[in-house]
Chains A and B, each alone.
Chain A
Amino acid sequence: MEDKISIILFSGTVDKLLAVATIASGAAAMQKKVQIFVTFYGLLAFRKDAWKTNRRLSKEFEDFATEALKAMEEKKVPSWLDTLKAAMEIGDVQVHACGLTMDLLAIKLEDLEPVVSDVVGVGTFVENASGGQILFI
């Protein structure tokens, strides 16, 4: 298995975004090549400045949302976007936007956070992922 990890980020909730950014950090630190394919709600979360107001958390733990967000704020956990940027600084981490979602929702690359490098189709993603591990989050 090649030393690379490919993450399909479908969710746009803060908990899962933070999980993806953290996994990407660990993988980048351990010198794995990381590509993150952001699609649907995941892509919406990458719209410029959306991270500032996004307080959505996973539905299945809705009752825990206030407590979780409060704990993260009190303990000054860096935002998922800052965590991701740190991962990009220390290793090979690429973020690709899903072409289909972009077309469907009329989103342009310049509408997204600059950490997103380009727009690709699922075929390109799968091709780039081949031989490595794939995570769907």
Chain B
Amino acid sequence: MEGIKITKEVDARGSFCPGPLMEMIRLIRSAQVGDVVAVISADEGTKKDLPAWIKKAKHELIAEEPVEGGATRFICRKLH
């Protein structure tokens, strides 16, 4: 993503539901408001769970980027 700096990224490929979601929650917790963090996951359940959590927790899902090999990079900004 151009113009957006990812502060911290966790590669959660190989981790299963709810692992990648837990990684995102930990990242957001340790981040500063305004920071952008990312989690890479290849887990099918996470594709729906992560955006649902971001919405529920009222942060911003900036993008879901396809990553080689069928994984997705979920990029999220901490809003509060």
Residues of A within 8 A of B (CB): 22, 25-26, 29-31, 75-78, 83, 86, 89-90
Q: Are A31 and B18 in contact (CB under 8 A)?
A: no
> Given the complex, which residues of B lie within 8 Å of A90, measured CB to CB?
22, 25-26, 29
Closest CB pairs A-B (n = 6): A25-B18, A90-B25, A86-B22, A29-B53, A29-B21, A26-B18
- Collect the chain B residues with CB atoms within 8 Å of residue A78's CB: 19
Q: Complex Cα distance A30/B58, Å? A: 11
For B17, B19, B49, the residue with the greatest tally of chain A CB atoms inside 10 Å of its CB is B19
Collect the chain A residues with CB atoms within 8 Å of residue B49's CB: 26, 29
Residues of A within 8 A of B18 (CB): 22, 25-26, 29, 83, 86
Query: Chain B contacts of A75 at CB under 8 A?
Result: 14, 16
Known: A25-B18, A29-B53. 15 other contacts (CB 8 A): A22-B17, A22-B18, A25-B21, A26-B18, A26-B49, A29-B18, A29-B21, A29-B49, A30-B53, A30-B56, A76-B14, A86-B22, A89-B26, A90-B22, A90-B26
Kindly list chain B residues whose C-beta atoms are within 8 Å of the C-beta of A76.
Answer: 14
Closest CB in chain B relative to A68 CB, distance in Å: 14
